[in-house]
Structure 1
Amino acid sequence: MQKFLILMFFCAFLLQGCAPKAVDFEQTSPKEKIVLTFSHVVSDASPKGRAARLWADLVYQRSGGRIEMKIYPNGTLYKDGEELEALKKGYVQIIAPATSKLTGLDIRWGIFDLPFFFDDLEQVHQLADGPVGELLRKSMRDKGIEVLAFWDNGFKILTTDRPIKNLKDFLGLKIRIMDSPILKKQFLQLGAIPVPLSFNEVFEALENKKVNGSENTPSNLYSKKFYQLQSYVTVSNHGYLGYAVLMNSDYFNSLDQETRKILLDTLKEVTSWQRKAALEQNAEDLARIRNDQNIKIHDLTPEEKEEWQAVLKPLAYEIIPLFPKDLQAEILKTGNLN
């Protein structure tokens, strides 16, 4: 009987060690060492991956080693659809999902998904860094999530297993998308079949022909080698892809003032660097894709672009009316609805 009790105690001890630990959000002291876990799903070589590493390195240096940020890329810790829940439960401290992923919490984040709405990244930044971005930050804060920064990737292009030029070329085509209402409607309007899949599922879906194509930025297509699985690339630049750097609000507020200052001041610098780096990297990676002799590249002509725009631009009026009237004017002034 004694042996049995000892065995039961030992098993209970092991199980306790394996269970997720309770999150203690007591105020930290400036002298305590802080370890932050940053989980993301893209490559270390992507604009997001490079910025995460830079932020971690600078914070470590500036805190004298007191703040350590551990980076887990490529979905090694949590996959695409798991990150938000892990953040809410306190299993990770930082994530940086695509803004499209936040439409499930507040559909107004779909403003960044609108096709052909932004002519350039400067227009995106005007919204993200202004009153519209502040409203979206508050929408997440009300749900226990702190938006620390907006990072760019860039504008999306298409890879497919057949040429895409005219609208009729989309008919029946299965296109992988992120799970966003605007992205779904975008491809339904074009006559295609949108297939929501997590980022970690894309390579296998393209390789096994579960989908006929996908939309993504050149840096993601190149770093994850998606473009090598298909024969055609259409340089359409039809939509924006960006990220929100997020932290659990309770955890963020539990950090001492000095720690928050180091994190945020450094992040502001890294965000400025990241946006420039993303622009440069997408141009470089698109050039690399163009140099692949096995890929046929089509640049959307002005006439083809007008044809796509005529079908897609009305989607803006499904999102813009959801904002307060003063912000609707700001959005219309910033975006391209001509």
Structure 2
Amino acid sequence: MKLLPFAALGLAAAISAPVALADDPVVIKFSHVVAENTPKGQMANRFKELVAEKTGGAVVVEVYPNSQLFGDDKVLEAMLLGDVQMAAPALSKFSRYTDVLALYDLPFLFQDLDAVDRFQQSEQGQAMLDSISRKGLIGLGYLHNGMKQLSSSKPLRTPEDAAGLKFRIMSSEVLEAQFKAVDAAPLKKPFSEVFTLLQTRAIDGQENTWSNIYSKKFFEVQPYITESNHGLLDYMVVTSKEFWMGLPDEQRAQVNAALREALDFGNQIARDKAIEDKGLIAESGRSEILELTPEQRAQWVEAMKPVWKKFEKEIGADLIDAAYAANTTDNQVASATDGQ
């Protein structure tokens, strides 16, 4: 009989526990691999602020930059296990979950970020966000970093200059084929290791945007950067279907609205930083920026031309055509078609 008060106390605790938990904020762990001063880093921090404002503190975003929690190669698995709720991996990182997103790795597909925006906001572009839903993941939106450049330990002006060199790439069959098309050796390595690999000459070069080249100081250990604008580095903000659909409708709408604003903010930063960081690299004098002539650029385009055909079946010819049609004017499209 003396145990009865304890049993009653346990029952009372069991009854009150859900009420206490209901008062606790929902925590969103947002993991990413880049520095906080990059477009993605600033977008994530802005998202954190906006979620706090819109939910009144009912939802709290914790941002973990610089691979503090997970690298992009592991974060999607961690998300499905519930260890992290949001991330923004490069589109290349979704190859294990869908084929269609490999479209964004095709070399010389888009002329500029305006063309990318037109396609991503189109019906086809938006539909691609759902391409990972069968794997338990939900694409919430696209985020730009920018157009990619080539850095190297030697000047790269023509495709022949890249022959035999080792380039770090993300885990992407398209990017692997891209470098093999110019007789280079692609090596899949984590982003967090790139600076050391370049510094120790374990690799000869890499491809990246101006903001990543500057923020990660790759320009300090790469004497040459070719302004090729040959590819796109974009991200998809992603969450698990289980987490997203588990949020109350009102909170989900608030978080989604915060994300829309944060993505607009981050995409504008991406455009601004491409100009700013290129200028800072040039001013540093640490790395020489090489501009391709139209003839040299055409050689790169021609050399990488077979990559489109190689992945046409997996991605879909209609989707590639739609993306290519997003390039701005008839003159630009005709010019690109001549090269392709």
Q: Same fold (TM over 0.5)?
A: yes
Match of 2:280 among 288, 294, 299: 288
Identity of aligned residues (%): 34
**1:324 offset after TM fit, Å?**
5.7
Task: Report the residue type matching 2:237 in the other structure.
Answer: V
| Residue range with higher mean Cα deviation, 322-331 or 204-213 | 322-331
Runs of 5+ consecutive residues of structure 2 not aligned to the other structure: 1-17, 328-332
Q: Which residue of 1 aligns with 2:62?
A: 70
Do 1:100 and 1:109's aligned partners in 2 also have CA atoms closer than 8 Å? yes
* 2:108 aligned partner, one-letter code: F
Q: Quote the residue 1:212 is aligned against.
A: 204
Contact 2:159–2:303 (8 Å) recurs in 1: no
Alignment partner, residue 278 of structure 1: 270
1:129 deviates by: 2.3
Which of 171, 182, 185 is the equivalent residue of 2:177? 185
Per the normalisation by structure 2, the TM-score is 0.87
User: Is 2:122 the partner of 1:137?
Assistant: no
- Equivalent of 1:333, from 302, 309, 325? 325
Q: Is 1:260 matched with 2:285?
A: no
Task: For 2:304 and 2:289, locate their aligned partners in 1 and report how far apart those are by CA, in whole Å.
Answer: 23
Corresponding residue number in structure 2 for 1:168: 160
Cα RMSD (Å) of the superposition? 1.9
- What is the rounded CA distance, in whole Å, between the counterparts of 1:111 and 1:328 in structure 2? 7
Cα contact 2:100–2:315 (8 A) shared by 1: yes
Stretches of structure 1 that go unaligned for 5 or more consecutive residues are 1-25
Q: CA deviation at 1:333?
A: 2.2
Aligned pair in 2 of structure 1 residues 206, 261: CA closer, same or farther (>3 Å)? same
What is the distance in 1 between the residues matched to 2:139 and 2:298? 35
Distance in 2 between the 1:232 and 1:180 partners? 24
User: Structure 1 193/328 Cα, relative in aligned 2: closer, same or farther at 3 Å?
Assistant: closer
Could you list the per-position Cα deviations for residues 142-190 of structure 1 after superposition, in whole angstroms to 9, with x for gaps in the alignment? 1100101100000011111111111221110000111111100110001
Structure 2 residue corresponding to 1:201, chosen from 190, 193, 196: 193
Task: In structure 1, give the amino acid aligned to 2:204.
Answer: N
State the SS of the aligned residue for 1:104. coil
Which residue does the alignment assign to 2:107? 115
- In 2, the alpha carbon distance for the partners of 1:276 and 1:30 equals 37
> What amino acid does structure 2 have at the position aligned with 1:109?
L
Q: CA deviation at 1:223?
A: 0.6
How far off is 1:130 after superposition? 2.2
What is the CA deviation profile of residues 33-65 of structure 1, one whole-angstrom value per residue up to 9, with x for unaligned ones?
211100100000100000000010011012111
Change (3 A) 1:329 1:189: closer
1:198 maps to a residue whose letter is P
Q: Give the match's secondary structure for 2:233.
A: strand
Q: Over residues 102-144 of structure 1, what are the superposed CA-to-partner deviations in whole Å (9 max), with x where a residue is unaligned?
A: 1222122111011111001122122222233333222211110
Partner of 2:52: 60
1:39 aligns with 2:34: no
| Comparing 243-252 and 317-326, the one that deviates more | 317-326
Report what 2:15 is aligned to: none
**Shift in alpha-carbon separation, 1:164–1:324, aligned structure 2, 3 A:** closer
In the alignment, structure 1 residue 226 sits paired with structure 2 residue 218:
yes
Aligned residue for 1:23? none
CA apart distance, 1:328: 5.2
Q: For 2:72, which of 70, 76, 80 is the aligned residue?
A: 80
Q: Whole-Å Cα distance in 1 between the matches of residues 107 and 22 of structure 2?
A: 46
* Number of positions where the alignment pairs a residue of Structure 1 with one of Structure 2: 311
Instruction: Output the CA distance in 1 between the equivalents of 2:111 and 2:225.
Output: 20
Question: Following TM superposition, by how much is the alpha carbon of 1:313 offset from its aligned partner in structure 2, in angstroms?
Answer: 2.8
Cα separation, 1, equivalents of 2:26 and 2:125: 29
Q: Distance in 2 between matches of 1:57 and 1:295?
A: 36
| Counterpart residue type for residue 84 of structure 1 | L
Q: Which moved more, 1:39-48 or 1:76-85?
A: 76-85
Relative to the length of structure 1, the TM-score reads: 0.87
